[in-house]
Amino acid sequence: MLAQDLRLAPEQVVGEELRLDVLKAQARDGVRKALAGDALVAEEQERLLQHVQDLLLGGEDLVERLARDCQTTSDTETLTAQLQQFVHDYSFIQYVYVTDVKGHSTAIAISDPGDQKGYKAFPIGFDYSNREWFQQPMRTGKLHIMNVHQSQVTGQLIITVSTVITDANDEIIGVLGADIQLEEIIRRAEALEAEEHIGEEE
């Protein structure tokens, strides 16, 4: 399957962009609900939400960049090393994984060694073909963002971002997915908010 074959007609492109906007809006709503219990005034909450959104956008960019890097990786050992380095560098990524075009995982990396036991239920070769994060990029050839949901393994709130991996001929060879920890993103956003307050006081 060629990624270029999945390119849409102009009216479909507009629809696809609107769909992605809707997905992002759903993610923002999920973040807003997660923040609702905090003792923040509306203005502070909106500023914090903006920081969260900016960090999530950064996470999406990282996933797309990693997918491009995976294009040149031909063996599983090197691919796994790439994923492990990725979760090491970006600790807010809980879990990152690659599948082939049939949805079977070929490489995985877990950020927290304490979660290794839970992920044993999803070994290399596990079939993810019925998962939204796999099906949507395979159907559209584009980045897909899921709504905020609870991790089956850790119980934490996460946002899953996924995109296709293509080869030099623009042929889809797999899907890359990453689970972004919402709590860690919020923690980083709060740190940015605190830095801004300090800057305003000086």
Local mean pLDDT, 10-residue blocks, the chain (202 residues): 36 41 55 54 56 66 88 84 91 92 96 88 95 95 86 87 91 93 76 62 56
Please report where in the chains the tokens 């119980």 appear, as a residue.
155
- Enumerate long-range contacts of 79-87, CB under 8 Å, 24 or more apart: 79/106, 79/107, 80/107, 80/108, 80/109, 83/107, 83/108, 83/109, 84/109, 86/62, 87/111
- At residue 202, the pLDDT reads 55
Using N-to-C axis directions, what is the helix angle for 182-201 and 42-70, rounded to 10°? Answer: 120
**Cα dist from 181 to 95, 114, 129, 154, 190, whole Å:** 9, 15, 23, 10, 14
Report how far residue 99's alpha carbon sits from residue 108's, in angstroms, rounded to the nearest whole number.
9
Asked if 109 contacts 178 with a C-beta cutoff of 8 angstroms, the reply is: no
68 close to 62: Cβ distance less than 8 angstroms: no
* Whole-number pLDDT of residue 4: 35
Residues sharing a CB contact under 8 Å with residue 125, sequence separation 6 or more, in sequence order: 104, 105
What beta strand segments (E) does the chain contain?
93-99, 105-110, 144-145, 149-150, 157-166, 172-181
Q: What is the DSSP letter of 75?
A: S
* pLDDT (0 to 100) of residue 81: 93
Q: What is the pLDDT of residue 71?
A: 80
Q: Tokens for 168?
A: 């030099």
pLDDT of residue 46: 59
